């Protein structure tokens, strides 16, 4: 079960790297505007805030990757960072949009369950 758990944790990390790129570098570009359904004016105003969010997503990805690289000793690291992702996803779903629950929290919850079962 551990290889499957690590694949899912790796996919969650990859998602957060994608979020980092979207929020830090593509926020005011066509892909970022479409993804976050915003106007160029709003993107310009919120660009710095989005870059900060992207940085936090990068830290989540780094923690998950770190947990994977530690091998069996990384279980607690993966559990911690997956819990952080689940909490962030639930909060985002409650405050921004329900889609975040399925895009962010659900994959992390699945990964968390797999790590706990490993």
pLDDT at position 2 over 80: yes
User: CA 9 to CA 93: how far, in whole Å?
Assistant: 21
Predicted TM-score (pTM) of the model is: 0.90
pLDDT tens sequence across 68-85 = 999 999 999 999 999 999
The reported pLDDT for the residue numbered 1 is 67
Cα 95 to chain centroid distance, Å, stands at 16
Domain boundaries, the chain: 2-117
- For 21-48, write each residue's pLDDT tens digit: 999 999 999 999 999 999 999 999 999 9
Averaged over 103-107, what is the pLDDT? 95
Q: How many helices (H) and strands (E) does the chain have?
A: 6, 0
State the Cα–Cα distance between residues 20 and 57, nearest whole angstrom. 6
H or E element, residue 113? helix 106-117
Q: Do residues 61 and 92 make contact, with C-beta atoms less than 8 angstroms apart? A: no
Averaged confidence pLDDT in the chain: 95
């Amino acid at each position: 079960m551990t290889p499957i758990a690590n694949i899912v944790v790796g996919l969650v990390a990859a998602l957060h790297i994608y979020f980092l790129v979207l929020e830090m570098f593509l926020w005011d570009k066509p892909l970022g505007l479409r993804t976050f359904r915003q106007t160029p004016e709003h993107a310009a105003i919120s660009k710095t805030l989005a870059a900060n969010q992207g940085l936090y997503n990068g830290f989540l990805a780094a923690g998950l990757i770190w947990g994977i690289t530690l091998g069996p000793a990384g279980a607690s690291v993966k559990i911690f960072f997956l819990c952080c992702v689940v909490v962030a996803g639930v909060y985002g779903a409650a405050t921004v949009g329900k889609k975040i629950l399925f895009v962010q929290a659900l994959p992390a919850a699945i990964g968390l369950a797999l790590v706990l079962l490993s």
